[in-house]
Amino acid sequence: MKLIIIDYGSGNLRSVENAFKKTIIDNKFKINIEVTNDLQNIRKGDFLVLPGVGSFPDCSKGLKVIDGLVETLSEEVIHKEKPFLGICVGMQLMVDYSLEKIKTSGFGWLKGYLRKIKISGSDYLGRRYKIPHMGWNNLNVSDKKHPILRNISEEEQFYFVHSYYLDKSLESEVLANTIYNHEIPAIIGKKNYFGVQFHPEKSSFAGQKFISNWIKL
């Protein structure tokens, strides 16, 4: 089987590749990883991962520069129902639109839009809220039976770094939230496509468990 990490010029591909490689080796999955932006190769993939760091408009532009990529993703994920995971901005691209810098549309696979995290007020220690929401945070799981969260307790923490969050999402499409001043969807998805606001590739053991759960779905 082949797992494709989609390379559209958006940052930390090495980290994503390293983490998936480790999960695959540790679990003895029979999967090869390929980092590519070639549409033919993407079509041959059995698992598709869309990473993304930086701003929503930049990532969106990066995708559109590769002629036919967005259409290919939609064909492979929505019609052929291949397993898909969007990470950070890769997750954000799955929803309707973002208000970061300028209103930019996403794929519209899931409901909601991105808006800036609210930082009014102070936290439990009286510190001002800062932006980005940066660091390790735990999940409040809505669907405790979902296999993507197998063996992951609510105490476990994942590494987040983002300034925009998904608002007006559908309750049925949010599998877990995290709290930073307010609720922030952390895992979204349905059917064969999921997105995570955190970085499983940088989330140590918890991230490894999550990646392995996703592959096993």
Partner 1 sequence: MLSTRVIPCLDVHNGRTVKGINFLNLQDAGDPVEQAKLYSEVGADEICFLDISATNEQRKAMFDVISKTAETSLVPLTVGGGVNSLDDFRNLLNSGADKVSINSSAVYNSTLINEASFKFGNQCVVLAIDAIKNFKMPSGYEVTTHGGRKKTQIDVLKWADQGVKSGAGEILLTSMTTDGTKSGYNLELTKLITDNVDVPVIASGGAGKPEHMIDAVLKSGASAVLAASIFHFGIYSIAEVKKEMSNNGINVRV
Q: Which parts of this chain interact with partner 1 (CB under 8 A)?
A: 11-12, 14-15, 18-19, 22, 53-55, 58, 119, 123-128, 130-138, 157, 159-163, 179-180, 199, 201-204, 207-208
Instruction: Round to whole Å and give the CA distance between 192 and 214.
Output: 10
Nearer to partner 1, 16 or 77 (CB): 16
Q: What is the Cα gyration radius of the chain?
A: 16
What is the smallest separation between the CB atom of 213 and partner 1, expressed in angstroms? 16
C-alpha dihedral, 51 to 40 to 214 to 217, nearest 10°: 160
Residue 143 CB, nearest approach to partner 1 (Å): 21
Catalytic residue among 156, 162, 173, 199: 199
And the tokens for 106? Answer: 């996403």
Q: Is 88 a catalytic residue?
A: yes
CA dihedral in degrees (136, 142, 143, 144; nearest 10)? Answer: 60
199 noted as active-site residue: yes
Q: Is the CB of 72 or the CB of 181 nearer to partner 1?
A: 181
- Min dist CB 202 to partner 1, Å, is 5
The catalytic position among 76, 100, 173, 201 is: 201
Pick between residue 142 and residue 181 the one whose CB is nearest to partner 1: 181
Please confirm, yes or no, whether 171 is among the known catalytic residues: no
Closer by beta carbon to partner 1, 108 or else 135: 135
What HEC string does 148-193 produce? HHCCCCCCCEEEEEECEEEECCCHHHEEEEEEECEEEEEEEEECCE
Name the minimum Å distance from CB 142 to partner 1. 18
Distance between CA atoms of 34 and 48, rounded to whole angstroms? 10
Task: Note whether 103 and 42 are within 8 A (CB).
Answer: no
Name the active-site residue from 17, 76, 88, 162: 88
Enumerate the active-site residues: 88, 199, 201
